[in-house]
Amino acid sequence: MKRRNFLQTAAAGTAASLPFFLNGMPLQTMAKSALFSNVNPDNDKVLVLIQLIGGNDGLNTIIPLDQYVGLAQVRGNIMIPEQNVLSLTDTVGVHPGLSVLRSLYEEGKAGVVQAVGYPNQNRSHFRSMDIWNSGSGAEETWSTGWLGRYLDSYFDGYPEGYPNEERPHPFAITMGGNVSETCQGWAANYSLTVFDPFSLNPLLEGEGGALPDTPYGDELAFLRHSIAQTNAYGEVITEAANLGANTVVYPETSRLARQLKNVALLISGGIQTKVFVVSMGGFDTHANQVLEDGPLGGDHAQLLKAVSQAMTSFQLDLANLGLEDRVLSMTFSEFGRRIRSNASFGTDHGTAAPLMLFGACVNPQVLGENPEIDGQIGNSEGIPMQYDFRDVYGSILLDWFEVEESQVRNLLYDDFTYLPILNNCESVVSTEEQDVPGLNVETFPNPCQAGFTLSFQCQRAHVRITLFDAVGAVVRQLAARTLPPGRHRMEVDMSKQPAGAYFVRLQIGQQIQTKRVVKLG
């Protein structure tokens, strides 16, 4: 192999990555050893993010079998007939198009986290996707991505000096399209885009010149660096593609399948990339989500079938290649959709939605409760959030990438709560089942007027209780403290709240339960 064309660094001095200073101290120096000493950037785990663009209708994807009476009342025109639903557990089913989830679940290689979202749900595609990509709260705007920050914590100064002898491989790859905002670091995006790993031609780099301290110089620096980096990483990718091989035939027509095929190919060829981002659009099903004359057809069924076929091939390929233990795949989407369908046989933007995980190291379980659905559901109501998406991210960082918990809190948020979504594999933090007694949450009266009494039981634990309104906005925090073991009661004043539906979310240790409460007018 010829000597790789590593980037010339310091002399060219890309303006895009000049050191930045906080309180007069260069952050790179600071961050280096002091903050991030006990972490492991060199495990061989790979994360594949599957972005379902548009807001997947979670309620027609992961279907609460014990809520069919309510479902018939609020989304009768798009509901999947019960006899067609594939069951995962006694009370949880899956859309018949998404058969891969059941088969992998039965093999112990897939799991579901119910109702993932964030407080104060934003129903704009763009803003909500920004929140999911950055891992910020709804009230903050962060310009870095959650994986970008994770990578920044090891690879200071990136992109300056990368790739190099020690780190010749791209840290992240987006298959086609634009670089993924999940991988946006402080100074540059960590993801390289690859459409066809076999057709990467070297680019002419041209004669560089000085970079003026102007916007022009800044953009020029970015371009020069992108060209040089494309060449340097391009060699690595082509080499991996040539060394790798797929073992199964993927569906030809599906964009998602093509992307996953190349992911498997590159990993099998020895690429050391930690994050791959694949995506599929079309989930914004305001209309014609199902066919007028048949809820088993329509756009959503086609989309889920495409996901199912692609994942079936991918997971089988990984198993054949002996890579099952190294690769974890996770779906995400900007939000779920409304509980009530509209007259266009579709659904509008909603709140939380289930998230799916695939891989041999996934804890094969449905984490969380089914939503409660009845005919009283209002037009604006989405599925209330049970799990904060940052807890899912953080648990993956912790278990999969071996990031320390304190570090996870720094990268995401201080209230991080660990979720046992991974198991089986050696690198995984122990998540032995503890016999936790139920919370036995009760609300009385419900419906209520001036207020209601909330009661629950717990072991000695930190308890966080939050009241949300029907669109997922936080009404107020009811409690956040450590309680002694036993049964607890709490009076919740609703006198100042307008009539409508509300949700009480109790988070006690790792247990979470959401209860719907209606205030009468």
Partner 1 sequence: MDRNTALAGRRGRQQHSTINTFSAVTTDLEPYAGVWEQAQAAHLLRRTTFGPNKATLQLALDQGLDATILQLFTDLPLPEPPRYYDTEEGDDPNVLPEESWINMPLPEEGNVLPNRSRSLQAWTMGLLLNEEISIREQLCLFWHNHFAINNSVNDPRFWYRYITTIRGQAWGNFRQLCKDITIDPCMLRFLNGNQNEAGSPNENYARELLELYTVGKGPFAGPGDYTTFTEQDVEAMARVLTGWTDTAYQTTDPEEELTAVFQPEFHDVLPKQLSARFGGAVIADFGEEEYAHLIDVIFAQDEVARHICRKLYRWFVYYKIDEMTEAQVILPLAQMLIDNDYEIAPVLQVLLRSNHFYSILNQGPMIKHPIQFVLGPIRQCGVAFPEEWQEQYVLWQQLHELTDRMDMAYYDIPEVAGWKAYYQQPLFYRNWINSISLQQRSGYVRNLVVNGYTPGEITLRMDPLAFIATLEDPLEPNVMIAEIATLLLPQPLETSQLTALKEILIPGLPDFEWTLEYGNYLGSPDDETIRQAVESKLQDLFVGLFNMAEFHLS
Task: Please list every residue from 150 through 169 that binds partner 1, using CB under 8 A.
Answer: 152-153
Q: Measuring CA to CA, how many Å separate 396 from each of 111, 273, 436, 495? A: 13, 16, 23, 41
Is residue 139 a contact point for partner 1 (CB under 8 A)?
yes
Min dist CB 316 to partner 1, Å, is 28
Find the binder of partner 1 among 61, 189, 315, 423 (CB under 8 A).
189
Query: Which residues lie closer than 8 Å to 367 by C-beta, 6 or more apart?
Result: 111, 112, 113, 114, 387, 419, 420, 421
Among 62, 100, 147, 113, CA closest to 318: 100
- Give yes or no for residue 124 binding partner 1 (CB under 8 A): yes
Using CB under 8 A as the binding rule, whether residue 22 contacts partner 1 is answered as yes
Binding mask 252-291 for partner 1 (x = CB under 8 A): -----------------------------x----xx----
**Distance, first Cα to last Cα, the chain:** 75
Taking the complex as a whole, how short is the minimal distance between the CB of residue 362 and partner 1, in angstroms?
A: 28
Report the candidate in 429, 395, 407 with the shortest Cα–Cα distance to residue 38.
407
Nearest of 364, 245, 255 to residue 302 by alpha carbon = 255
Distance (Å, rounded) from C-alpha 215 to C-alpha 221? 10
176 is a contact residue toward partner 1 (CB under 8 A):
yes
Q: Does residue 138 bind partner 1 (CB under 8 A)?
A: yes
Regarding 184 and contact with partner 1 (CB under 8 A), the answer is: yes
CB of 138 to partner 1, least distance (A): 6
- Output the CA–CA distances (angstroms, integers) from residue 326 to 149, 298, 316, 360, in the order listed: 22, 35, 14, 8
Nearer to partner 1, 216 or 444 (CB): 216
Query: What is the per-residue binding string for partner 1 in 26-45, x denoting contact by CB under 8 A?
Result: -x--xx--xx----------
Q: Is 198 in the site for partner 1 (CB under 8 A)?
A: no
Task: Supply the minimum distance, in Å, between the C-beta of residue 123 and partner 1.
Answer: 7
The span from the CA of 503 to the CA of 490, in Å, is 15
DSSP codes joined into one string, 118-154: -SS----HHHHHHHHHHT--TT---SS-HHHHHHHTT
Identify the CA nearest to 256 among candidates 297, 299, 308. 308
Beta carbon nearer to partner 1, 188 or 458 = 188
DSSP 385-422: PSEEHHHHHHHHHHHTS---HHHHHHHS-TT------B
Asked if 136 interacts with partner 1 (CB under 8 A), we say yes
Q: Is 454 in the site for partner 1 (CB under 8 A)?
A: no
400-419 mask for partner 1 (x: CB under 8 A)?
----------xx--------
Q: Does 236 bind partner 1 (CB under 8 A)?
A: no
| Minimum separation from the CB atom of position 376 to partner 1 (A) | 17
- Kindly tell me which residue out of 300, 349, 390, 464 binds partner 1, with binding defined by CB under 8 A: 349
Which of 83, 90, 166, 215 lies at the binding interface for partner 1 (CB under 8 A)? 215
